[in-house]
Amino acid sequence: MILVFGKTGQVATELQSHKDVIAIGRDQADLSVPTTCTEAIRRYKPRAVINAAAYTAVDKAESEENLATTINGEAPGAMASACADLDIPLVHISTDYVFDGTGTKPWSVTDTPNPQNAYGRSKLEGEKAIKASGSVHAILRTSWVVSAHGNNFVKTMRRLSETRDCITVVDDQIGGPTCARDIAQTCLSIAEQLIKDPSKSGIYHYSGQPNVSWCKFANVIFEQLDSKTIASPIPTTEYPTRALRPLNSRLDCARIQHNLGITRPFWRGGVEEILRDLENLNDKA
Catalytic (active-site) positions: 119
Taking the C-alpha atoms of residue 205 and residue 141, their distance in angstroms, rounded to an integer, is 5
Q: Where are the beta strands (DSSP E) in 114-264?
A: 137-142, 145-146, 166-170, 174-175, 178-179, 202-205, 212-213, 230-234, 248-249
48-51 sheet: strands from edge to edge: 21-24, 2-5, 48-51, 90-95, 137-142, 202-205
Are residues 50 and 15 in contact, defined by beta-carbon separation less than 8 angstroms?
yes
Strands 174-175, 212-213: pairing kind: antiparallel
Residues facing 266 on adjacent strands: 209
Are residues 133 and 276 in contact, defined by beta-carbon separation less than 8 angstroms?
no
Are residues 161 and 235 in contact, defined by beta-carbon separation less than 8 angstroms?
no
Are residues 175 and 143 in contact, defined by beta-carbon separation less than 8 angstroms?
yes
